[in-house]
């Protein structure tokens, strides 16, 4: 086998939030809706949410914010705190799903054409995200139709990979389920957390920064592009081959 085909690009593994679609403004509105529904005077604005996004996972993000307030109720025990966070996140997820169903979230430029081109070329497609499965289904059902799931061989998310990015768990689990060597795949991400997770799993990673992640440290990326609108599969293969060899 010659060296070029030794590590041909065989799979694209996509992050969801900020990568497949610009979702975080809708997530932010859903979090604030949940806080109001539960009678909390919390209100996250864009600058604060941009900082809070360094914590992957909505429940973890709520817990980190609550800790930062320093007013964690003393009288209630840890399990009732967790119950409150769970309830907040349930309300938030329902509000986010409604926003997606109302068409308030758009897929990013170039994403659907690249997914289609890669599938047509026989590449494996997978998802590695720290978001909740409800959110993935709502977004991709809206964007790709009711049979969206058939396009992805493996989906790993908050419900299957509890250790969140920058931990590599979600990517390690995708690679193991695909029985794929990391150098034969390529991850597509929008954040430094995601880049760290994918690189720790050994995956070359293409970065498409989102409005919330502009300016983060992407030095370890295979390449940073503004979005996928000018990225065809041939270009990905070229970058991947150069990186691997």
Instruction: Select from Mg ion, ligand XBP, none the partner in contact with residue 135, using the beta carbon and a kind-dependent cut-off of 5 to 8 Å.
Output: ligand XBP
165 lies in the site for ligand XBP, by CB under 6 A? yes
Rounded to whole angstroms, the Cα distance separating 184 from 99 reads: 36
Strand, coil or helix: 186? strand
27 lies in the site for ligand XBP, by CB under 6 A? yes
- Nearer to ligand XBP by Cβ, of 32 and 132: the residue is 132
Q: Which letter does DSSP use for residue 150 in this model?
A: G
Q: Residue with the closest Cβ to Mg ion?
A: 18
Rounded to whole angstroms, the Cα distance separating 59 from 61 reads: 5
Can you tell me which of 7, 13, 57, 174 binds ligand XBP, judged by CB under 6 A?
A: 57
Q: Which two tokens stand for residue 244?
A: 């691997």
Rounded to whole angstroms, the Cα distance separating 76 from 130 reads: 28
22 lies in the site for ligand XBP, by CB under 6 A? no
Closest approach of Cβ 242 to ligand XBP, in Å?
26
Nearest-10 crossing angle of helices 111-120, 133-144: 80
157 lies in the site for Mg ion, by CB under 5 A? no
Measured in Å, how far apart are the chain's first and last C-alpha atoms?
14
The catalytic residue positions are 15, 17
- The contact set with ligand XBP (CB under 6 A) reads 15-18, 24, 27, 56-58, 129-132, 135, 158, 165, 191, 194
- The contact set with Mg ion (CB under 5 A) reads 15, 17-18, 190-191
């Amino acid at each position: 086998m010659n060296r070029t085909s030794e590590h041909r690009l065989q799979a694209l593994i996509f992050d969801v939030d900020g990568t497949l679609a610009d979702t975080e403004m809708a997530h932010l509105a859903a979090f604030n809706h949940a806080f109001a529904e539960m009678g909390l005077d919390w209100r996250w604005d864009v600058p604060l949410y941009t900082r809070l996004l360094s914590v992957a996972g909505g429940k973890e993000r709520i817990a980190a914010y609550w800790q930062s307030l320093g007013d964690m109720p003393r009288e209630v025990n840890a399990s009732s705190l967790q119950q409150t966070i769970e309830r907040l996140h349930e309300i938030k997820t329902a509000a986010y799903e409604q926003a997606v169903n109302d068409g308030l979230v758009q897929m990013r430029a170039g994403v659907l054409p690249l997914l289609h081109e890669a599938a047509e070329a026989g590449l494996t497609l997978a998802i590695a995200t720290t978001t909740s499965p409800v959110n993935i289904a709502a977004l991709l059902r809206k964007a790709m139709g009711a049979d969206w799931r058939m396009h992805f061989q493996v989906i790993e998310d908050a419900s299957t990979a509890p250790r969140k990015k920058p931990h590599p768990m979600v990517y390690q689990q995708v690679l193991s389920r695909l029985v794929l060597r990391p150098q034969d795949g390529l991850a597509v991400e929008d954040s430094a957390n995601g880049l760290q997770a994918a690189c720790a799993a050994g995956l070359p990673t293409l970065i498409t920064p989102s409005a919330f992640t502009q300016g983060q440290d992407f030095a370890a990326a295979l390449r940073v592009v503004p979005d996928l609108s000018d990225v065809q599969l041939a270009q990905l293969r070229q970058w991947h081959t150069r990186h691997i060899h």
